[in-house]
Chain A
Amino acid sequence: MSMNLEREKAVLTGTQLSEVKSTNLSKILFGATVISMLISLYFIFIFAAEETTMHAAQKIFYFHVSSAWLAFMAFFVTFVFSILFLIKRKRIFDTYAYVSAEIGIVFTIIVLTTGPIWAKSAWNTWWVWEPRLITTLILFFIYIAYIMIRQMDGVWDKKARLSSVFGIIGFADVPIVFFAIRWWQTKFHPIVFGDGPSQQGGGIESSMLVALLVTITAFTILYAYLLNKGVSFENMKIKVDRYKEKLREELEK
Chain B
Amino acid sequence: MNLFRTALLLAKKDLYSELKTKQILTTQIIFAGLVIVVFSFAFDPANNTTKAVIPGVIWVIIVFAGILGLNRSFISEQRNDTMQGLLVAPMESSSIYLGKFLANFAMMLVVEIVSIPFLFLLFDFKFNGSLGYFVLVIFLGSFGFIAIGTFLAALAANSKSSEMLLPLLLFPITTPILIGVVQATKIILTNMEKLSSAIAWIQLVTAYDVIFFVVCFLLIDYVLEV
Contact = CB atoms under 8 A, between A and B. Distances in A.
Interface of A: 86, 138, 141-142, 144-145, 148-149, 152-154, 158, 161-162, 164-166, 168-170, 172-173, 176-177, 179-181, 183-184
A141 B174 CA distance: 12
A153 B158 CA distance: 9
15 contacts: A145-B168, A153-B159, A154-B158, A158-B158, A161-B222, A161-B223, A161-B225, A162-B158, A162-B223, A165-B155, A169-B216, A170-B172, A173-B176, A177-B176, A181-B179
Contacts of A169: 148, 151, 173, 212, 215-216, 219
B172 A138 contact: yes
Given A153-B159, A153-B160, A142 B173 contact: yes
Contacts of A170: 172-173
B208 interface: yes
A148 B219 contact: no
B106 interface: no
B215 A184 contact: no
A138 to B, nearest CB: 5
Contact of B175 (A138, A153, A165, A172): A138
Q: Which of B169, B173, B212, B222 has the most CB of A within 10 A?
A: B173
Contacts of B222: 86, 161, 164-165
A69 to B, nearest CB: 21
A165 B219 contact: yes
Nearest to A172: B215
Given A149-B165, A166-B155, A173-B172, 17 more contacts: A141-B172, A144-B168, A152-B159, A162-B158, A164-B222, A166-B152, A168-B219, A170-B173, A172-B211, A177-B175, A179-B204, A180-B176, A180-B180, A180-B204, A181-B175, A183-B200, A183-B204
A184 B179 contact: yes
Bin the interface of chain B by size: 20 to 34
A141 B171 CA distance: 9
B183 interface: yes
B150 to A, nearest CB: 13
Interface in B103-160: 148, 151-152, 155, 158-160
A158 B154 CA distance: 13
Given A145-B169, A164-B222, A166-B169, A176 B208 contact: yes
A142 to B, nearest CB: 4
Contact of B211 (A158, A164, A176, A184): A176
Contacts of B168: 141, 144-145, 148
A180 B204 CA distance: 8
Contacts of B208: 176
3 closest residue pairs by CB, A with B: A180-B176, A141-B172, A142-B172
B204 to A, nearest CB: 6
Contacts of B216: 169
Nearest to A161: B222
A152 B158 CA distance: 8
Contacts of B175: 138, 173, 177, 180-181
Nearest to B161: A152
